[in-house]
C-alpha cells in the first residue's frame, strides 16, 4: 500500500484516484479551488464526471503541503500550461525520495520542452515517470477496460509503477521511450482538432481516415527529429492508440472543439461553448509549429491547423491548400 498525492482534481485526476483506491492505496487530492474541494469532500462528486461517486477514503485539499506531506508518490494531473507553476510551488515541500509521475500531456510553448523535462529542471533529484495512453476519464472512472503505458529512465521504477496502477480493468505496459511517449500524447491533440473540424464541415469517413493516417506520419517525423528513441512508440498505445481515440470519440474535448470551429464558430467561441474546459490541442499547436520550423520537418496538416487556430484561416481554405499540394509518393 502506498500513500499518493494527486495534484489536480479534474476528471483525469479523479479517474486515477478511483483506480488507485481500488488497488488499496491511500489517495489525497489537491484541488485548485475551495468549490472543487468542497464538492469532493462534502458531496463526493466531481463536476466533470457527474455519474461518479468518489469513495470516502479519497480526500481533497487546497493546501499543497497537506496534500503532499507524507506521501510516497506525487502524480501531476494539472492542465499542461499550469505544470511549471505548480511544480515550482511544491519544490520546497517535496522530498527527494518522492516519485513524481506526470499524467498530463503537452509541450511547453516557450521552451519546447516536454513536461517531464520541465519537471526534471525544477526537481532534478527526484525520480520522474510518465503515464499516458488512450484513456478518457469518463470511461476509466466507470472501470471500462483500458490500456496505458508508463515510462521512466529506470526500468525498476517503471515496473514498480506498473504494479501500482495495474488491475483487472486498467492494464499497464512499459515503454522506455519517454520522449516518444510524451510527444505522441501531446501532438495527437492537434490532429484531433483537425478531425473535429472535418466533421464540423460535414466531411466523412474517407477524410478522417486520411487525416489520421497522414497525421500519424507527421507525429512520427516530429518525434524522430526531437529525439524519440523508437519509432515503434508512435504505432503503440501512446501514438496511434491515443490518436485513434482522441480523433474519434465524443469524449474528446479537442474533437468537440474542432467540430464547433468547423461549424463556423471562432476558437474563442468554441472554448466558451465547451464551458471553459482546457483544449490542449490549441496550446500544443503553437509549440508544434515551432518544432516544425526548428527541425525543418514536413508537417502540412499541423501547419494548417496552427494557421486556423492562431490566425483565423478558413478551415475550408486550409483543406483546399492541403489537397492541392504538389504530387508525391506516399512514402
Q: What is the C-alpha separation between 206 and 92, in angstroms, rounded? A: 52
Other C-beta atoms lying within 10 Å of the C-beta of residue 65: 11
- Residue the block writes with cell 525520495: 97
- Residue the block writes with cell 501547419: 303
**132 phi-psi bin (left φ>0, alpha ψ -120 to 50, beta other):** beta
- Residue the block writes with cell 464540423: 200
Q: 73-76 and 59-61 as β-strands: parallel, antiparallel, unpaired?
A: unpaired
Instruction: Please identify which of the residues 37, 105, 188, 303 carries the catalytic annotation.
Output: 188
- For residue 153, indicate whether it is catalytic: no
Q: What is the C-alpha separation between 29 and 13, in angstroms, rounded? A: 8
Task: Tell me how far the alpha carbon of residue 143 is from its chain's centroid.
Answer: 19
Cell of 55: 469513495
Give the DSSP H or E segment for 181.
helix 178-200
Q: In this structure, are residues 284 and 187 in contact, taking their beta carbons and an 8 Å threshold?
A: yes
Which of the residues are catalytic? 188
Amino acid at each position: 500500500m502506498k500513500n499518493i498525492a494527486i495534484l489536480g482534481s479534474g476528471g483525469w485526476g479523479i479517474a486515477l484516484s478511483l483506480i488507485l483506491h481500488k488497488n488499496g492505496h491511500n489517495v489525497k487530492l489537491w484541488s485548485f479551488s475551495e468549490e472543487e474541494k468542497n464538492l469532493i469532500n462534502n458531496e463526493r462528486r466531481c463536476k466533470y464526471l457527474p455519474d461518479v461517486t468518489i469513495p470516502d477514503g479519497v480526500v481533497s485539499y487546497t493546501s499543497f503541503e497537506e496534500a503532499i506531506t507524507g506521501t510516497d508518490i506525487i502524480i501531476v494531473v494539472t492542465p499542461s500550461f499550469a505544470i511549471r507553476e505548480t511544480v515550482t510551488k511544491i519544490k520546497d515541500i517535496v522530498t527527494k525520495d518522492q516519485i513524481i509521475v506526470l499524467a498530463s500531456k503537452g509541450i511547453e510553448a516557450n521552451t519546447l520542452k516536454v513536461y517531464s523535462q520541465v519537471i526534471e529542471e525544477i526537481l532534478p533529484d527526484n525520480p520522474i515517470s510518465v503515464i499516458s495512453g488512450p484513456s478518457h476519464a469518463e470511461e476509466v472512472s466507470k472501470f471500462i477496460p483500458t490500456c496505458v503505458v508508463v515510462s521512466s529512465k529506470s526500468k525498476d521504477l517503471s515496473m514498480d509503477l506498473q504494479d501500482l496502477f495495474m488491475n483487472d480493468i486498467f492494464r499497464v505496459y512499459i515503454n522506455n521511450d519517454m520522449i516518444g511517449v510524451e510527444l505522441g500524447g501531446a501532438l495527437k491533440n492537434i490532429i484531433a482538432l483537425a478531425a473535429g473540424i472535418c466533421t464540423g464541415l460535414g466531411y466523412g469517413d474517407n477524410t478522417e481516415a486520411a487525416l489520421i493516417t497522414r497525421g500519424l506520419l507527421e507525429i512520427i517525423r516530429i518525434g524522430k527529429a526531437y529525439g524519440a528513441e523508437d519509432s515503434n512508440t508512435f504505432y503503440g498505445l501512446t501514438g496511434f492508440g491515443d490518436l485513434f481515440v482522441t480523433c474519434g470519440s465524443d469524449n474528446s474535448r479537442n474533437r468537440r472543439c474542432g467540430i464547433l470551429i468547423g461549424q463556423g464558430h471562432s476558437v474563442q467561441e468554441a472554448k466558451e461553448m465547451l464551458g471553459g474546459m482546457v483544449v490542449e490541442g490549441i496550446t500544443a499547436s503553437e509549440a508544434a509549429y515551432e518544432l516544425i520550423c526548428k527541425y525543418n520537418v514536413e508537417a502540412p496538416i499541423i501547419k494548417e491547423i496552427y494557421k486556423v487556430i492562431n490566425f483565423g484561416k478558413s478551415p475550408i481554405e486550409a483543406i483546399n491548400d492541403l489537397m492541392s499540394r504538389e504530387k508525391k509518393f506516399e512514402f
